[in-house]
């Protein structure tokens, strides 16, 4: 359903552009359901990893940690995405920057995105075997984004371009702040409209596809070679007390991006990653 609150924020002349930006995504909720199986869609914990694949490690030989995995067979179907198989996201928790090279996002030494079209748990590492990979590094400081494991539950939702991003400039032919300054010449009114926009829950903070959110700026703006890449997966800091906690630095957000052609071809080898925080 069209988000009626947006109509009061965007000027009438931009309502059609707003409507045209509507895009379907999978909103993800996180649930603490105790210990989860190796094939479940989840964040944190240990996931499915076949023994005939080389487990990803950083430049010091330390194992990367599962950030999240998506089992498409238990998620709603989404255009251009696989309908089966498992997509896993690994990052370097031994690194204070969590494996992200902000100057060169194509440097994937500190993170890996792996797609397994077919999954056979009998041919995969057990949870105990995966725990053994980390045991000899137990004395080394880590910077975990997720300390526990939480099940991911997906539901379809419509999203709209409303945040400062390359999609905003493409949809409204204007940079975010310039857009509101031109639409509302009164500086106080422009600021008020932007605050209204920031305060409403337009889309899920955790999603597959859709439009990205940032606490700082869209990295694609300063790296135009990636301007056509779209959001693949987003995981935001979440704090539900003792039930669910996901922390990127100071209440940050992690984004994974992919070129649309690679997504259609189910080629996740060129996926890149960014995170930011306050």
Smallest Cα–Cα separation from 254: which of 97, 125, 34, 119?
Answer: 97
Q: In the prediction, which pLDDT does 57 show?
A: 98
85 C-beta neighbours (distance < 10 Å), count: 15
Structure tokens at 211: 């439009």
Contacts of 167 (CB under 8 A, 6+ apart): 21, 161, 211
d(CA 23, CA 171) in angstroms, rounded, equals 12
Return the pLDDT at 1: 39
The sheet carrying 65-71 orders its strands as 111-116, 86-91, 65-71, 42-44, 149-159, 23-31, 207-208, 230-236, 253-258, 272-276
d(CA 250, CA 5): 29
pLDDT score recorded for residue 223: 94
pTM, whole model, 2 decimals? 0.94
pLDDT tens-digit map of 102-144? 999 999 999 999 999 999 999 999 999 999 999 999 999 999 9
- pLDDT under 70: residue ranges of the chain: 1-2, 201
Q: What φ, ψ does residue 24 adopt, rounded to 5°?
A: -80, 140
Cβ count near 263 (within 10 Å) = 19
Three-state DSSP at 101 gives coil
**Two tokens, residue 86:** 């498992």
Closest CA to 3 of 30, 23, 33: 23
Cβ atoms within 10 Å, residue 222: 9
What whole-number distance in Å separates Cα of residue 226 and Cα of residue 236? 21
In the chain, the domains with their CATH numbers are: 17-160+204-276 (2.30.320.10)
Among residues 71, 141, 90, the alpha carbon closest in space to that of 254 is found at: 90
Neighbours of 80 (CB within 10 A): 13
> How many Cβ atoms are within 10 Å of 248's Cβ, its own excluded?
21
Cα(118)–Cα(77) distance, integer angstroms:
17
Q: What is the pLDDT of residue 240?
A: 76
Question: Rounded to whole angstroms, how far apart are CA atoms 73 and 71?
Answer: 6
Cβ-contact 67, 145 below 8 angstroms: yes
Contact 56, 92 (CB under 8 A): no
- The counts of H helices and E strands in the chain are 8, 12
């Amino acid at each position: 359903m069209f988000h009626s609150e947006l109509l009061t924020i965007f000027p009438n002349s931009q309502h059609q552009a707003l409507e045209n930006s509507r895009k379907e995504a999978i909103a993800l909720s996180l649930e603490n359901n105790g210990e989860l199986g190796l094939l479940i869609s989840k964040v944190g914990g240990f996931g499915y990893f076949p023994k005939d694949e080389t487990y990803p490690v950083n430049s010091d030989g330390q194992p990367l940690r599962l950030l999240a995995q998506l089992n498409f067979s238990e998620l709603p179907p989404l255009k251009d995405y696989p309908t089966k198989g498992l997509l896993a996201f690994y990052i370097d928790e031994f690194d204070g920057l969590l494996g992200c090279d902000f100057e060169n996002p194509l440097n994937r030494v500190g993170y890996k995105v792996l797609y397994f079209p077919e999954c056979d748990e009998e041919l995969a590492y057990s949870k105990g075997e995966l725990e053994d990979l980390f045991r000899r590094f137990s004395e080394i400081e880590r910077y975990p984004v997720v300390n526990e494991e939480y099940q991911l539950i997906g539901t379809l939702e419509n999203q709209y371009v409303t945040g400062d991003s390359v999609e905003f400039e493409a949809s409204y032919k204007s940079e975010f702040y310039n857009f509101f300054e031109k639409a509302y010449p009164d500086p106080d009114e422009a600021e008020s409209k932007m605050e209204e926009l920031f305060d409403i829950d337009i889309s899920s903070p955790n999603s597959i596809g859709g439009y990205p959110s940032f606490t700082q700026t869209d990295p694609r703006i300063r790296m135009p070679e990636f301007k056509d890449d779209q959001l693949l997966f987003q995981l935001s800091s979440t704090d539900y007390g003792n039930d669910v906690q996901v922390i990127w630095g100071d209440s940050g957000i992690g984004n994974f991006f992919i070129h649309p052609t690679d997504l259609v071809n189910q080629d996740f080898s060129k996926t890149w990653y960014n995170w930011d925080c306050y």
